[in-house]
Structures are given as C-alpha cells and as structure tokens.
Structure 1
Amino acid sequence: VVEDYAGRWQVPLPQLQVLQTALCCFTSACVSFPAECEHVQYVLSSLALSFFELLLFFGKDEFYEDPLKDILGSIQECQNLLNRYRNMNLELVTRIIRDGGPWEDPVLQAILKAKPVSQELVNKYLSSENPLFFELRARYLIACERIPEAMALIKSCINHPDISKDLYFHQALFTCLYMSPLEDQLFQEHLLRTDCKSGIEIICNTEKEGKTTLALQLCESFLVPQLQNGDMYCIW
C-alpha cells in the first residue's frame, strides 16, 4: 500500500510525506508487537532505506525548512518510540538526519571532492554505515551524471576490505568508466582484475538493469577473450 501511494508521485517530498504517515501509523500499531518480531524489523528497515533514498535529493539547508523539517522530526520521534526494536537502519537514518543529511559527513565530503584523506579514516567511515547506503549514494550520483564524484565514492568502497566483496561497486565502476570515454585504459585494467564468475554476474546484472549497450561492451571486452582462452566456467 505504501509503495502504491508513494509511486503516484514523481518528486521526493510527497513521497516522504507518504512514508512519514506510514511510519507514524506503524509506530502506533507496534505497541502490540513483541520486541523480537522479524516482521517489524523488515518493515522498519524497508521504511528506513526508502527514507534514506529520498533524503539524497535534499541538501543540509533544506533540512531546517518546512515541510521537510516536520517530516524529519517525525522520523526521530518515531525512532525514540521504537527504540526497543533496535533497528540498525532506522537508527542510522536518524543519526544521519541529526548530522545534517546523507552528504554532510566530513570524510564523505573529502572523498567526493577528491581531497586528501587517509585510507584508515575512509575505512572507518565506510564501516560505520550499512553498505547499501553507499550503494544508494552511488546510484544517485550516477543517475545525476555526477560521474567524478560517483567514481571517487565507488573506488573508496572497492578499496574497503569488506565492501569490496559487493559486486555492485565493481559493476558501478564499469558503468562510470563506460560513461567516461577517456577512461578506457582503467576500464580494461579493472576487467583484468575481475575473475570469471564475478564478470559473468556483473554482465547479467548490468543487462537486468536495462544497460544493454554496456552489457554488450562487457561481453566483448571480458567474456569473448575468456571463451577464446577455453575457460570452462564461461563456456558453461
């Protein structure tokens, strides 16, 4: 129902208002649910991720203006009432709201602006959030064609010991490099560092997202040489 109502709008603010209503109603209903209820965790995480995705459209200054200010206040009030569920995603969203929004962390700002920052600080920051939040940031930047910023964030994630295992960021790097014609050498270099299984998954995921031209480019650059070399995994 929430998805249906939110989907009727093409701009983020009305969608946030729908989510605000949903969270407030769910918070009122939660008094009868046990603290360990898995369904509650699922709903809260889904709402938190949806809130976060929409907050990417807003800058810090807008956080202090109505009606967004009222919406954000409601989220924090609901989180206080839902504290016994210890939902990490909702807690993280409220923390990000208190800090001024999803783009305001000083380390993130340094990454996006290509300013010097130690890998230790970068890794500490990246470890402080759900990796999916960084994926949503990267998707937003790519959709807005802010490719240099997207690449900076994606490369930082790929250099993280744990987040680097998420194939999305490797797929996203190929997307950015493909959108930057001058980066063909980096495109080829990253192909060489990609194992066969991961390469096939990336190609399939790219095609599923409707990026047919990029998927074909990846096939030509990655899959064909593997087949020519007789890689049985690719043949299968």
Structure 2
Amino acid sequence: MEERTIDEDRGALFGRLADLASHLHQGPLVAAEYCRAFCEVLVENSRTIPVAENSPALLTTYKEAIPAFTKILPSLSDDCPQVSAVLARLVLCCFELLLYLPASDLPVGVWDAFTSSIEEIQATLEQLGHDELRVVLEVVRAGGAWRTPAMLSIFHKEPVPSEEVDASLLSEGPVMLRLRLSLLVAVGHHAEACRLAECCENLSKLGSASATFRLARLGLVCDTATSDNDLQGEAAHLDGSEALDLVCNLDAAGHAHGARLLCTALLKRKLQNVEKDSTGEVIVLWSQLTRRAWPSEPSRFLSACLELGSVARTTCHLLFRIRTIQAEVPSDGLETCVQLCIRGLRLQAKDGCESATEEPVSAMVSLCLTLACLMPDDAEVGRACLLTHFFEDVSVITYRALEQASCNPEAKPTCSGSLTPSMRCELLLLLKACWPFDPELWDWTSLRQQCLNMLPSEETAKLVPAEGDSAKEERTSPGVEEQEEEEDKEKKDQGDVKIPSDDGRISWREALAATNFMPGYTINAQHQHHRGRTGIAASKQHMQQSLINQPQINSVRIKHRCRLCRRWCVPWLE
C-alpha cells in the first residue's frame, strides 16, 4: 500500500514538473518566474505528505525535484540570483531530512536508489560548475547523516585524522552544523551536542560563526549545571567585555538560568582574585539577572548578595554591591547593607586583606559616609561615623562636620529600629576599634580639645579664637554687660581677686592658676587653653609650678562664665 502511494506521488510530481519545464521552453517564462513556480509545486506536494508517517515519500520528492531542476538548469540564466538560491535550498532541505531519516528505516532498495540518483546529479552539477550537492553525496555514501567519519570521530572517538574531521565540518558549513545541534538538543543528547559545538568552536576557519557555536556550547553547559560551582572552569577562561557579551547573549537566547549561573561564577572569581576590570558591570548584570529570577522574593536576592559579600576581599566591591541593593530593593535592604559595611570594617581591621592599589583611608571614609547615609536618623551611629572620618582624615572640614553634629541641640541619641541590638553593637565596636581614644563618656568640650590637639597648629589658630576676640564678641551680644558686672561683683566679694584685662589675652582660669591666692585650684581639662599650649600636659606643667610649698584651701566655689564654651560654670576648688 505504501509503495503504491509513493509511486502515485512520484508520478504526480514528475508530471507537474515536466509540465512546468515545457512552459519554460514554449513561452517567455524568465528564470525568476520559473524558480517561483518550481518552489510552489514542491510546497504543495510536501503538504500532502505527513513527514512523521511517510518519510520515504518525502525523500522521493527530493529524488524527483533535484534531477528535474538540474535538467532545466542550463536553460536558466546564470545571472538570476534565484537559481542559486533554489538549488542551495533544495540541498539544505534534503540534508535536514536525512538528519531525521536513518537508512535503516527505509524500505529495501530505496536508499540505494536515492544514492545512485544523487551520484548522477552531482556529476551533472559539477559539469555546470555547481558543487552544492557534495555534502548530501557524502551523507548518502556513509549510510546516514550520523555515520560520516567526522561524526563517528566526534561522538564515538573513532580514529579519524583531525584534518579530515575539520574538512568535513567546513564542507557542511555553519548552517548545516546548526541543524545538527538543533536536532541533538531536541532529542535530549546534550553531551553529544556539547562535543559537536566544541569542535565547531575550535574551528577557526569558520570565522565569526565559531562565536555562535561557543555561545551554543555555553548555553548547553549552563542549562545542565546545577549550581555556579559547576561553571567555575568555564568562568576561568572568560574576562572583560567578552564575558559580559556572552552572558547577555545567553540571556537573550533564552538561557536565563544558565546566564545567571555563569554570571555568578564569573563574579565569584573576580571577587576572590581581587579583579577590578569590569567587576562593577558584572555586579550590575548579576543583580538584574538575580532580581529577575525572583521578582517577588527580595529575601532570596538579599541572601545571595550576602553570600557574594562574604567572598569579597576589597571594600570597593562591597560598596558597589550596596549601591546595587539600594537600586533593586531600597525598602528591604538596610540590614543587608549594614552587614556588608560590617564586612568592610572587618576587612579594614585586618592587614593584607586589601589590594595594593586600594587606599585604606579612603576605604574607611567611604564606609563611614555610606553608614551615615544608610541610617540618617541614628544620631549615635552618625556621630561615630563622623568621628571616625575625622580620625582617618584630620582636617578642618572633618572637624567642622563633627562640631556641627555634636553641637546640634536637635540631634537626639536615637537608635535605628530596623537593626538588631547585636548588629548595632558590633557596628559601633568596629568603628571604635580604630579610634586613638574612647570618648564615650566625654562631653563635647573635652572631645573638642582632643580633636584640636590633633589638628596642625596653623589650622588650630583659625578654629580657636583668642580670648580678647572672644571677649569683644561677647560685648556685642545682648545681656553680656550685665553678666560681666555680676561676675566682677562676685569676685570682689570673695577677696577682690584681680583678673587680668582682655588685652593680656589670657583666660580667667589661667590667671587664677597663676596667682598665690588659691594655689590648690585644679583646672578642669575640659576648659584648658594656655597661650597656644593645649591639653592635659600643659595644665599639669602649669599646676606643678603653682603647687610648690603652698597651703591647700578647701570648699571654695567660684561662679564664672567660661569664655571658651560660653556657659556659666561652678567648678569645685579644693
């Protein structure tokens, strides 16, 4: 029944093609019109044949169509581009059919008859200067598309010279090789597809098409990988813009999962090896791919960020990661960002963990500024960051920022409620670890004096005005004259102690310490300032000179207005 159907289809097709050829000889039918009519006949004939059920009938169609077109080829103009296009399309369709049609599935004698027909047609085409059918001839002579020497060498490791394998692949060309890959992937033979793609990738004579096979191989490897650890070997050979292009092309080709895994493996390698070339771009691309993988689960994205943050060895990579978190999940990523900052502070506390090109000072300053921006309402953390910034970069600018934050009456010691107490405590301890002293229980006056001692003398002179200038400024303020009168009156009542004038440019506490009236007076280090000499050392030296062979006076209190902090002070005199 099947043979009769094949013969009937063969006869119908042969009649239509012969009729079309007769019209070409009898009328002014040009080559382009003939090629269009020839293709329409083949399409109509192929629609009536179910490929899955009657593949031998479809093979018979090409057995009749190719000789018919070859026979009429001398009558067609060589200048018509449609002629070469139709011939190439016939060969390609026949080759694709042979990929799906093993010789063992055909009736007895059909394959041999088809082989003989192809050999005769190839001889005729070679005389006409066409060599397109040579690939099909090699396939039919080998007994099938997967029985050629090149395929046996690739899939079954049979001993075939590499030159012969390369020549066979080059003769098929990129289009036919892609057809082979598509079929292998469709039937689930991923390992064989990877081998074939690798051979095509290493074939430099394919030119730009070798990049296509490389992308295909990476897509197959990534799709079969279970985690990014399986792709570390592939990521080791990728670098720069080439790696970014491959990941983007994988994603565009529909391998989103594989692209994300490959990007993760690539990013881990860059973080572990402290590579800065294109690392920022890879971080951004990884964030986009990972966020797209779990659009409704930001916790998984943040967890993945923490995992990669634990691999990072430089602060700049952590800061870039924080920027991407703020861009992707700004409302849920505060705790994760703080944990990454803590990781950065730990890196700064260890020697040799940073790269040689990274400046530790700038890295610490960047961490402090980042923390201050992440938690603007946390006054304690903000002041700790400003103080750390000052210690790392001692300058007038950092001092002014610290002074403004410490003297701001509206800044209350609030805490960030989104952080756990343990995390917040660890953050503050890491910040304090790099301080030269711990001013936890100090007021601003004491802290101010220590900070001024750290500044260069020329900058300190700009920040700390002379006492005479302070007095002049105070006179211009309302209510100062009445306060000074009350101050002088109290001092006269207590012994008529004479305070040097403002032109002497010494403070009232310096004058009091220099007199023999109260030699036991202890100067508070919070208000110490003595003619350019500041700090506790100056006060000790001065007091040692005044305490030699002097009696002690107890329980004397003096009320005075400090010219430095401009507030009324009632110190104890012992």
Q: Is the 8 A contact 1:35 1:85 kept in 2?
A: no
Q: Is the 8 A contact 2:56 2:106 kept in 1?
A: no
Task: Classify 1:98/1:32 alpha carbon distance in 2 versus 1 (closer, same or farther; 3 Å).
Answer: same
Residue 181 of structure 2 aligns to a residue whose secondary structure is helix
Residue of structure 1 equivalent to 2:46: 6
Which structure's residues are more often helix, by fraction? 1
Q: Is the 8 A contact 1:158 1:164 kept in 2?
A: no
Give the Å deviation of 1:185: 4.7
Residue of structure 1 equivalent to 2:87: 44
Larger Rg computed on CA atoms = 2
1:35-184 mapped onto 2 (5 Å cutoff): 35=78, 37-61=80-104, 65-114=108-157, 119-120=162-163, 122-163=165-206, 165-166=208-209, 167-181=211-225
Q: Is the 8 A contact 1:45 1:89 kept in 2?
A: yes
Post-superposition Cα deviations, 1:75-133, rounded to whole Å, max 9, x if no partner, equal: 33333333344333312212332233322233421211245766555434433432322
Q: Is the 8 A contact 1:92 1:129 kept in 2?
A: yes
Please report the TM-score for the alignment, with normalisation by the length of structure 1.
0.73
C-alpha distance in 2, partners of 1:168/1:34?
A: 35
Q: Is the 8 A contact 2:223 2:257 kept in 1?
A: no
Identity of aligned residues (%): 23
**Structure with more contact order per residue of length (Cα contacts < 8 Å, sep ≥ 6):** 1
Task: Classify 1:220/1:186 alpha carbon distance in 2 versus 1 (closer, same or farther; 3 Å).
Answer: closer
Please report the TM-score for the alignment, with normalisation by the length of structure 2.
0.34
Give the Å deviation of 1:158: 1.2
Q: Is the 8 A contact 2:222 2:262 kept in 1?
A: no
- Give the letter for the 1:6 counterpart: S
Match of 2:244 among 187, 190, 196: 196
List, as ranges, runs of 4+ consecutive aligned residues in structure 1 with deviation greater than 6 Å.
Answer: 223-228
Q: Is the 8 A contact 1:7 1:15 kept in 2?
A: no
Give the Å deviation of 1:220: 6.7
Give the Å deviation of 1:153: 1.2
Match of 1:230 among 259, 265, 281: 281
Give the Å deviation of 1:48: 0.5
Q: Is the 8 A contact 1:76 1:94 kept in 2?
A: yes
Residue of structure 2 equivalent to 1:211: none
Mean CA deviation greater in 102-111 or 140-149: 102-111
Say how many residue pairs are matched: 226
C-alpha distance in 1, partners of 2:183/2:206?
A: 18
Mean CA deviation greater in 7-16 or 219-228: 219-228
Give the Å deviation of 1:37: 4.2
Post-superposition Cα deviations, 1:163-200, rounded to whole Å, max 9, x if no partner, equal: 37324312321342244246855645446635434543
Residue of structure 2 equivalent to 1:210: none
Residue 65 of structure 1 aligns to a residue whose secondary structure is coil
Give the Å deviation of 1:34: 3.5
Give the Å deviation of 1:47: 0.7
Q: Which runs of 5+ in 2 are unaligned?
A: 1-39, 268-276, 289-574
Q: Is the 8 A contact 2:222 2:231 kept in 1?
A: yes
Task: Classify 1:22/1:60 alpha carbon distance in 2 versus 1 (closer, same or farther; 3 Å).
Answer: closer
Mean CA deviation greater in 187-196 or 165-174: 187-196
Over aligned residue pairs, what C-alpha RMSD do you find?
Answer: 3.6
Q: Is the 8 A contact 2:225 2:231 kept in 1?
A: no
Give the Å deviation of 1:14: 3.1
Q: Which runs of 5+ in 1 are unaligned?
A: 208-213
C-alpha distance in 2, partners of 1:42/1:172?
A: 27
Give the Å deviation of 1:30: 1.9
